[in-house]
Amino acid sequence: MSKRKSKQITLMDDGEKKKLRGKSNRLIKTINVERKLVTHFEDLSIELIYEILEYLDAYDIYQSFFNLNMHFQNYVISSTFPLKINISTLSKSQFHDYYIHFIELNKYHIRLLNLSNIFVIDFFFSAKEDISTYSQLQTLILLNIKPKSTQKIFNRLFSLPNLSSLTVHFDHNLDEINIFDLIFQLPILKYCKISFSENVRSSILPTSTNTFSSIEHLIIIKICDLNTLAAILLCVPRLRYLSIDCIQQPFNRRITDYSLVLKKLTSVSLTIRQTQFDDLESFIRKNLCQVQTLYISTTAYSHSSDAKRWEKLILSDMPYLRTFKLHISGSIVTVHTDRDQFFRLQGLSSPFWFQRPCFFTQTYKFTSSERYHVLVYSILTDKSSLEKNTCEQKTILDSVDHVIIEDPELTSDCSKYFPNANQLSLSLLCRARSKLFAIDNLQYIIPLKQITKLNISNEDLDLDNLVNMLFVMPNIDTLTYSSLTRVRDEDVSLEGSERFQLVSKQNKIKRFTIKCVYRLKAIKILINLCPLLEHITIGTFGLSFRPTVAFLMSKSRESDCRLSSLCFVRVHNVWFEKIKCMIGSEKKPDEYSIEHVDSNCYLWL
């Protein structure tokens, strides 16, 4: 299981939820009153219509109302309410119409822009499009920036006078670009989240510590050493919240003597991979002594999991600390190691831990060896992350959002429940012998209808199993297979079954990835199973690649097909030219866009 590293900026706190519920209730009452006076939706007052539209995504507004009649078209064009534009998997023609008829006419009212298509990102920051005209834009999310476009994009961000929130993700190497040198120059930025795919090369060490950023909330999802982190802190004097996904030891083992107390920094979350406690202790004393909330995630029996040293550090150098969470993961020496013995090994038997409002719990990654344990303990007054359901005697762990299953037979222990889990992974060791384990056991561990991401690492889990799982998990939107070569004769006839047809109508899968090998026969079955599919990521492995591309191009021409983008991974230059020829023989030049970035080939239909 993976702990939730941070809350997404789109999540609401309790106050916002209450406000939204109150607003919804008032809106329902108003509609009930006006329902007695009107016979058509368009006869509602313009104020009430605007209030209703605020609950809808901008593309939903465009699709539902723009072409309804001139009355509503004028409403949409002349609207003054703030718009949130989310563009992920629109087809090329859909985006063109959406931009011409809606975005261009309303760009002055756009508050949020969420872009994850490399072609759409390039369009908004091209010479043809003046990004400065989006003068009310406050939140920008860019989830796949090309390396060669990075400098140009950040140069143009300076022209956005109200940009206060920035989220960026990089799938590709940035060898010659220091991203924080660019980010720290944005004048009014308050929130910044920056993440990198695994193995992406990029320097995040600022080259100048004389640049002071306005950032107050900083999240970095990338390997970072303490020297780099200290240099970053020198540039963010207004920082209030800090989260770093992975801290490791500097290569030269020498810690630079940075020292800066950020008086406003009260909450810190650090995931530690390889760091000596001496270095971590020195860093905390110099930079984090004023922190009120500290979350540390580390490995069992490492230096940074020493409870006695944490006790000494907290008592001597962290006088303002109110909440301390230490998450330790690793292998217990033996399966039979009891809880009290493990606590003693970690130094948790001292009065410091037991004389405070502190709780202990163990959560598990289900494995056949039962040796992978996670221990969480806290100095805490708010125990919302651990709650005991006395009726069912379940431990409620609401801080876990990703559950990993290696052996489904071990899930028969249903003493723990993960109410906020939204991602499920079935590992290589998860065999198909427990065919209906998703129905029989998982429903007592996780809320199945809440799962939106499903990762399957074992091809032994055949398509019949997949259909059964999707039947009880209808809200999955992202499906990932490590490989998909297992197709039985009965799988082909599976398409005619009542359950297959039902799952085909109810599932919401829009994104699908196969990391390794696959067969065309399996791809065809999945396409028929997932009619809402918009994006596919596959490799160029084996003999199935060419016929698979031809099939997907043929399928994309069907009027009811929503497939709009493809990504081919690990594509060298020769293969890229072959792919261009294959696509060119199926599509007109204005019907698609194609680009080769690092080793990936992106296709927009």
Whether pLDDT at 577 is above 90: yes
Please, which residues have CB within 8 angstroms of residue 565's CB and are 6 or more apart in sequence?
Answer: 89, 117, 534, 535, 536, 602, 603, 604, 605
407 within some domain: no
**How far, in Å, are 2, 104, 388, 518, 597 from residue 443 at the CA level?**
19, 46, 18, 30, 42
pLDDT at 82: 83
pLDDT at 580: 94
Lowest mean pLDDT, pick from 2-11, 89-98, 157-166: 2-11
Say whether 93 sits in a helix, a strand or coil.
helix
Please, which residues have CB within 8 angstroms of residue 306's CB and are 6 or more apart in sequence?
Answer: 277, 346, 347
pLDDT at 365: 45
The Cβ of residue 355 has, within 10 Å, a number of other Cβ atoms equal to 8
**How long a stretch of residues is the chain?**
605
Whether pLDDT at 575 is above 80: yes
Of 79-93, 253-267, 554-568, which has the strongest mean pLDDT? 554-568
Whether pLDDT at 278 is above 90: no
* Range of the structural domain that residue 588 is part of: 534-605
At 473, the amino acid letter reads M
Confidence of residue 300 (pLDDT cuts 50, 70, 90): low
Query: What is the number of domains present in the chain?
Result: 1
Read off the DSSP letter of residue 197.
-
Kindly state the average pLDDT of the residues 355-369: 49
Lowest mean pLDDT, pick from 356-360, 365-369, 445-449, 574-578: 365-369
540 within some domain: yes
447 within some domain: no
Inter-residue contact 156 to 131 (CB < 8 Å): yes
DSSP assignment of 463-500: HHHHHHHHHH-TT--EEEES-B----HHHHHHTTSHHH
pLDDT in tens, 413-464: 677 788 889 999 887 656 554 544 545 678 888 899 999 999 988 766 778 8
293 within some domain: no
Confidence of residue 411 (pLDDT cuts 50, 70, 90): low
Beta bridge partners of 413: none
Share of the chain above pLDDT 90, in %: 38
Confidence of residue 2 (pLDDT cuts 50, 70, 90): very low
Average pLDDT, the chain: 79
E strand or H helix that includes residue 512? strand 511-514
Inter-residue contact 600 to 115 (CB < 8 Å): no
pLDDT at 247: 80
The separation between CA 111 and the C-alpha centre of its own chain, rounded to angstroms, equals 21
At 582, the amino acid letter reads M
pLDDT in tens, 492-518: 788 889 999 999 999 999 999 998 888
538 within some domain: yes
594 within some domain: yes
506 within some domain: no
The pTM for the full model equals 0.84
Q: Which own/partner contact pairs does 50-57 have at CB distance under 8 Å and 24+ positions apart?
A: 50/79, 50/80, 50/81, 51/23, 51/27, 52/27, 53/79, 53/81, 54/81, 54/82, 57/84, 57/86
pLDDT in tens, 19-61: 555 555 555 555 555 555 555 777 777 778 777 777 788 888 8
Kindly state the average pLDDT of the residues 257-285: 83
Read off the DSSP letter of residue 436.
T
Q: Which of 326, 401, 407 is nearest to 372 (CA)?
A: 407
Rg (CA), the chain: 26
Sheet holding 394-396, edge to edge: 387-389, 394-396, 416-417
Q: Which of 229, 238, 275 is nearest to 256 (CA)?
A: 229
Whether pLDDT at 565 is above 90: yes
Kindly state the average pLDDT of the residues 66-94: 80
pLDDT at 250: 66
DSSP assignment of 3-28: E-----TT---HHHHHHHHHHHHHHH
Kindly state the average pLDDT of the residues 201-228: 84
561 within some domain: yes
